[in-house]
Every structure is written in structure tokens, then in C-alpha cells.
Amino acid sequence: MTTPQTRMPAEWEPHAATWIAWPHNPDDWPGKFQPIPWVYAEIVRHLSRVERVHILVNDLAAQRRATGILKRGGANLSRVHFHLWPTDRVWLRDSGPIFVKKIARAGEEEDLAILNWKFNAWAKYSNWHLDDQLPHRVAHLYHLPEIKPEVPPPPAAPASWKSHRIVLEGGSIDTNGAGVLLTTEECLLSEIQQRNPGLGDETSTQRLLEQAFHRHLGIDQTLWLPRGCAGDDTHGHIDDIARFVSPDTILACVEPNPADENHLPLAENLDRLHAFRRAHAPNKGKPFRIVTLPMPSPVIFDGKRLPASYANFYIANSLVLVPTFNDANDRRALDIIAACFPTRQVVGIHAVDLVWGLGTLHCLTQQEPA
């Protein structure tokens, strides 16, 4: 296998900033948009205490409205930087840039680069063209190298062969920053909401994606879980079900109620997580440490099951923001996550309104490594 060109740092590594997009589309929270900017203000209030926050707004009028809300909400405006870049949606985990560190020949890391994976709105929605431009905008702003991962041409490819730019969302992967990545078969290998059609069968698609993970994210071992959680319109994003919290520790969601539709998929995921072994020295053959995380009781609005999960937390400098749902398991989840991050303050963010948009804290944020 070729030497990786870049490495994606783990989320807990030092940040220079967090990137978000200010909410503007009422259709993303139909009938419930009014409280959403105030939830964002609370998120920015906490983030701006510990790092810079870059906020994308559609126009100057939107910037003025956001500034007023943030000021009233107590955000540190000296750490907030606005960019007048229009967006279709606000889920920057999936549409925003993935920052990576270039690897020098001697194995030492150099400057940052931007990975610009193709974004097509989870192969489900038609309004994605503005969002697909965001990584390029950030690369241009920072004068950083911009890498568009593609599937390499097969051996003896004809001259007419066309390259395939890989579709990948940040919420579909989670890395420990040390060569291991988590994802799901449901999201990246299924023919439903198929991200990368034309790469062959599941085996061929898996092989080509793992090659891209190795080359661009510095991944030597990919851990494939079967399925995501109920209510997830992305069809299987990992950041609602399992997350690395250290190089060898994975938080895994569980649902003990056998009548709940999450029970069986999460139990299958847990079985597979326990079966995984480290593939490389010095820990080759050792299992990962698995810590279980409860799910909240089903959050249902307008008759629809929503993808409410404590695993959709966001790790910032000296801080972890965790979605909460006015649920009896809120305190348990906060305590479990706090035990995983003893040097960070763990703060709950009320997300019952936010999750009506089918995403919460991790979905709307994208970290910029220091």
C-alpha cells in the first residue's frame, strides 16, 4: 500500500477554530424554526470561550441578525468571524472542508491542506450546489492546498476513462487520529442513497474507499459497523452511534429495550466492536476498549422518529458539547462522556428543537486543527 499523503487529526487534538453555518432555511425545521437561532447562540457562546468560531451567513442582513442574537446570547464576539458565503443547509460536518495535515517524507507533519470531497446532499436532496462549494472557499481564503479525492484509474484504463470524484460526508466517518477509522456499511456500501455508484459491487467499493481513506486520511484500519440509528435521513452516519474518545477507546450507543427499533442494530454494532482487534504494532491483536452510551427515549415530533443520540457530541478545546433531550438518560450520558474527557468541561445543549432538523451538535460543526 502506498504511503499516506495526509492525516486527519482526531477531534480532540488542538483546534484553531470551529466552523458553522447560521440557520436560515425554515424548511429544515418546518413549523419550529423560531428557536433554532437561539440554540445556535448558546452553542457559539460556549465555543467562543475556548476557540475562534467561523460563521457562514447568506448575506449582510443575515450577519446583522446573527450578531444581534449572539450579542444577546452572551457570545464572545471578538472570537467570531463571519463569511458571506451562501449555503443550502447548515450541516457543515458533511458539506464543509475536512482539514488534514500533510505528511513530509521523513514522517513529520507539515502544513494544513483541505480535502474537498464531493457533496451531493446525502444522495437524497436536490439543493446541494452551494454547499458543495464550501471546501473550495475555505481553501481559497486560507491559501491552502485543495485536494479532491478521486478513484484512481484501473490498470490499462482506456484513454476515455473518466475519473470519479469521491462523495464522502464528515458525519459518515470518525477517526482516532492514529490510523483507525469508524464507518458503516449502511451508509457507504448500500445501494440505498448510494454515494458512489459505479465503483462495482460492495467488495470493490469497500476496497476503493479504504484506499482513499489510507491515502487522504492516514487510515490503516477501517472498522465497518452494520447500521446506523432510527430516524437518520443520512442512512447510517457513524456520528450517531459510535465515536472514538481516545486512540483505543470507542463510545458505542446501546438500547436495552427489545421493543425499540434501535435495539437490534445497536446490539449488532456492539458485537462487532467487541470482535475488532488492533491491526498494527505495538497493540496488534488487542481489542479496543468499548464504553457503552445509552440512547434517550424516542424523540418523536409530528409523528416522526428523530435521530436523537448523545453520540452526536462535539469535542472542542477544553470542552465537550453534548446534545440533551429532557430525558432521564441525559445525566447518565453526560457523566459517561465526562469520564471519557476528564480534562474537559462537559456541557449539555438542549437539542429537542434542534433534532427536528435531523441533526444536532456534531452534524453542524467542523473543526479546524491548530
CATH number at residue 353: 3.75.10.10
In this prediction, residue 4 carries a pLDDT of 81
**φ/ψ of residue 67, rounded to 5:** -60, -45
Report the domain count for the chain.
1
Q: How confident is the model at residue 158 (pLDDT cuts 50, 70, 90)?
A: low
Q: What confidence tens digit (pLDDT) does each residue in 236-267 have?
A: 999 999 999 999 999 999 999 999 999 999 99
Q: Would residue 363 show up in a list of annotated catalytic residues for this protein?
A: yes
Q: Report percent pLDDT > 90 for the chain.
A: 90
Identify whether 1 is part of a domain.
no
Provide long-range contacts, Cβ within 8 A and 24+ apart, for 192-197: 192/235, 193/122, 193/123, 193/124, 193/234, 193/235, 194/123, 195/120, 195/123, 195/167, 195/168, 195/169, 196/151, 196/164, 196/166, 196/167
Average pLDDT value over all residues in the chain:
95
Write down the H helix ranges in 21-152: 36-50, 60-73, 92-95, 121-124, 134-142
Q: What is the mean pLDDT of residues 307-336?
A: 98
Identify whether 197 is part of a domain.
yes
Catalytic residue among 187, 229, 253, 363: 363
CA-wise closest residue to 315 among 93, 144, 142, 124: 93
In this prediction, residue 107 carries a pLDDT of 65
Identify whether 146 is part of a domain.
yes
CB 187 within 8 Å of CB 237: yes
In this prediction, residue 157 carries a pLDDT of 61
Place of cell 464528515: 170
Helix, strand, coil percent values for the chain (each to nearest 5): 30, 25, 45
pTM check: above 0.75 = yes
Single-letter residue type at 198:
G
Q: How confident is the model at residue 120 (pLDDT cuts 50, 70, 90)?
A: very high
* C-alpha–C-alpha distance, residues 340 and 336, integer Å: 7
In this prediction, residue 156 carries a pLDDT of 63
In the predicted structure, residue 155 carries a pLDDT above the cut 80:
no
First to last CA, the chain: 29
* C-alpha–C-alpha distance, residues 172 and 185, integer Å: 10
In this prediction, residue 161 carries a pLDDT of 65
- The residue range of the domain holding 13 is 6-369
Q: How far is CA 25 from the centre of its chain?
A: 21
Q: How confident is the model at residue 71 (pLDDT cuts 50, 70, 90)?
A: very high
Place of cell 484513454: 159
CB 144 within 8 Å of CB 103: no
